[in-house]
Amino acid sequence: VTKNLLNGLGFGPTLGMAAVPDAVIQKYEGSFFSFIKGVLGGDLQTLAGGPLFLLLAKYYKDYGPIFNLSFGPKSFLVISDPVMARHILRDSSPEHYCKGMLAEILEPIMGDGLIPADPKIWKVRRRAVVPGFHKKWLYNMVNLFGDCADRLVADLDTYAAKNQKLDMEERFCSVTLDIIGKAVFNYDFGSVTKESPIVKAVYRVLREAEHRSSSFIPYWNLPYAEKWMGGQVEFRKDMGMLDSILTKLINRAVETRREASVEELEDRDVGDDPSLLRFLADMRGEDLTSKVLRDDLMTMLIAGHETTAAMLTWTLFGLSSGDPGLMKEITAEIRTVMGNKSRPDYDDLVQMKKTRCALIEALRLYPEPPVLIRRARMEDTLPVGGSGISGGIKVLRGTDIFISTWNLHRAPEYWENPEKYDPTRWERPFKNPGIKGWEGYDPNKMSEFNLYPNEITSDYAFLPFGAGKRKCIGDQFAMLEATVTLSMILNKFDFTLVGKPEDVGMKTGATIHTMNGLNMIVTPRSDTDPIPTTNDWWVQQHLSRGFNVNG
Ligand code: HEM
């Protein structure tokens, strides 16, 4: 019954677009009841019988790097190919592809903020916001990260004293919320130390944004939904609360405005307010009456918080569930670089190469978000990539596209032993002459200013922060923030995973969360404990794969 019903509704993948020969209807593998629940709830995850990106991974194995996925009347072109991703993200103009349904979903929360913004607004806003992320600001931020991570360390101390388990995913969410609040509007959420109605409102808004992004019925647009629909009534209240705080903060910044040029602002001593809001409010030419300033700040609050928390969560998971030699190696690096300091400075972070590899490896296995969403605003032809389809693939105007970063990051065509959490891989080149037009991964392409292997070094098989003009604006910020936080906690504590790694599970919305929390026991380390000897574990990893580490 389910199969017939689904085939009738057209649920499942069909191969490619016009240029691809066969049309295949794949049977739906969830239960009939989960299907009905999914339809009623408008929820793609329930309909897909689990996280959508896992369904896309299964179809990738069956159908290859490009296929068309239909949910009733809706259909998406699913791409898992670096050459095509490079074309869409880097080579096409920002006017060619927009955020499509992602913008429709996020608009009620982020307005015209940078993530959902249409190409015209985006161009103006990106130019306005980028200067705020200047080098000196990032230097200042390292101090702020240390202040917030200090609170986390104090919190872990109390758990260590009680030998009581705690959920590290929750802790990482709190510390990254505190950091983004201070960095973006100089507002202290204080979420590591207390629960407040505002913090709860932020989390509920995030959950609602995630639910919307995995929904194929825009239930929030139903007539008067905000008046009668359970979650929507609350959502409106929460948004009201956040908006009124933001308005107060913006008004305060406007009242104390000291206009200056970008160059003057970059050199200025920020005193006790290093926030982006202060920078933008003082920037000559910035229109402070416009709603886009509010939209951009709200966007950064949402975009810069759980993404970094997820990177930290999956790094700690990888380190504590993998080869113990790896954890020792990372701890040894941190302790050697930090010496007797309780927090690292910028130069220390630059030296912590292995730690940064451990963090970026988590984004390979758990990309945040696991799909990038685009809509073609005009007709296009995608180049041939790993698909091997000759003649290119025509994309019609209006086509909704999912670029599956999950599939790209885990494909055996582009990565050696792809399912393994292995931070050492970033120091070894990888090529596959079988893939037309893909240059492979080359660590030597990394410039000295880059804190992490990226889309350039991997020729678009690795997109941890997206790529092209709409690449993440907070990539360096996030890498520094995560390196400070991770190094400060690993410098002081040992972490033991409670239960089996399989029990951690996965669920997703905009980012990939654990299903059951990242439950850990923390044990304090004494300052006099010796730095672990690693027996050159890291080097052995290269040698055992036939690489001469001396070049
Ligand atoms: C865009 C990931 C941290 C602000 C993006 C995109 C990705 C991403 C993949 C591209 C989306 C697309 O192409 O559709 C991440 C990850 C982070 C992180 C994995 C942490 C580990 C941050 C932080 C901020 C931030 C800390 C702000 C302080 C933004 C903004 C955009 C963006 C404003 C939109 C850029 C534009 O369209 O011009 N991020 N991000 N992100 N991110 Fe991040």
Condensed to tens digits (0 to 9), the pLDDT of residues 108-158 reads: 889 999 999 999 999 999 999 999 999 999 999 999 999 999 999 999 999
Query: In this predicted structure, what is the pLDDT of residue 329?
Result: 95
Regarding the beta carbon of 371 and ligand 1, being less than 6 Å apart is answered: no
* Ligand 1 near 166 CB (within 6 A): no
Q: Give nearest CA residue, ligand 1 atom 21.
A: 308
Residue 472 Cα to ligand 1 middle (Å) = 4
pTM: 0.91
Question: Which atom of ligand 1 lies closest to the CA of 471?
Answer: 10
Which of 92, 121, 292, 472 has most ligand 1 atoms within 8 Å of its beta carbon, as the pocket-test mutant?
A: 472
Annotated binding residues for heme: 472
pLDDT of residue 217: 67
Q: Whose CA is nearest to atom 38 of ligand 1?
A: 470
**Which residues, 6+ apart, have CB-to-CB distance to 182 below 8 Å?**
144, 147, 148, 188, 275
Q: Measured from the CA of 129, which atom of ligand 1 is nearest?
A: 33
In ligand 1, the atom with minimum distance to the C-alpha of 468 is 13
Indicate whether 33 pLDDT > 60. Answer: no
Q: State the burial class of residue 484 (Cβ atoms within 10 Å of its Cβ: 0-12, 13-18, 19+).
A: buried
- Check pocket membership of 459 for ligand 1, CB cut-off 6 A: no
Q: Is 477 in the pocket of ligand 1 (CB under 6 A)?
A: yes
- pLDDT given at position 10: 43
Beta bridge partners of 395: 380
Is residue 189 pLDDT above 70, yes or no?
yes
- Which residue's CA is the closest to the ligand 1 atom numbered 3? 304
Helix-strand-coil percent breakdown of the chain, rounded to 5?
A: 50, 10, 35
361-to-145, 364, 466, 505 alpha-carbon distances in Å: 21, 5, 15, 18
CA atoms within 13 A on the CB side of 162: 8
d(CA 430, CA 414) in angstroms, rounded, equals 7
- Look up residue 498 and give its DSSP letter: S
Centroid of ligand 1 to alpha carbon of 408 (angstroms): 18
Binding-site annotation: residue ranges: 472
**Residue 524 in 3-state DSSP?**
strand
For 295, residues 6+ apart whose C-beta sits below 8 A from its C-beta are: 110, 111, 112, 113, 117
Atom of ligand 1 at shortest distance to CA of 113? Answer: 33
3-state secondary structure of 312: helix
Name the residue with higher pLDDT: 145 or 41: 145
Query: Do residues 382 and 87 make contact, with C-beta atoms less than 8 angstroms apart?
Result: yes
Q: Which of 368-372, 390-394, 449-453 has the highest mean pLDDT?
A: 368-372
- Residue 251: the pLDDT is 92
Nearest CA to ligand 1 atom 7: 465
Q: What confidence score (pLDDT) does residue 220 get?
A: 73
478 Cβ below 6 A of ligand 1 = yes
> Rounded to the nearest whole angstrom, what is the distance from the C-alpha of residue 480 to the centroid of ligand 1?
14
| Whether the bond into 367 is cis, omega within 30 of 0 | no
**531 CA to centre of ligand 1 in angstroms:** 36
* CA of 475 relative to ligand 1 center, distance in Å: 7
Q: How confident is the model at residue 419 (pLDDT cuts 50, 70, 90)?
A: very high
Nearest alpha-carbon partner for 78 in 100, 106, 59, 50: 59
Decide whether any atom of ligand 1 lies within 6 Å of the 298 Cβ: no
Task: Name, of 8-22, 67-81, 169-183, 233-247, the range with top average pLDDT.
Answer: 169-183
Q: What is the average pLDDT across 183-188?
A: 93
What is the structure's pLDDT at 46? 52
Task: Evaluate: CB of 386 within 6 angstroms of ligand 1.
Answer: no
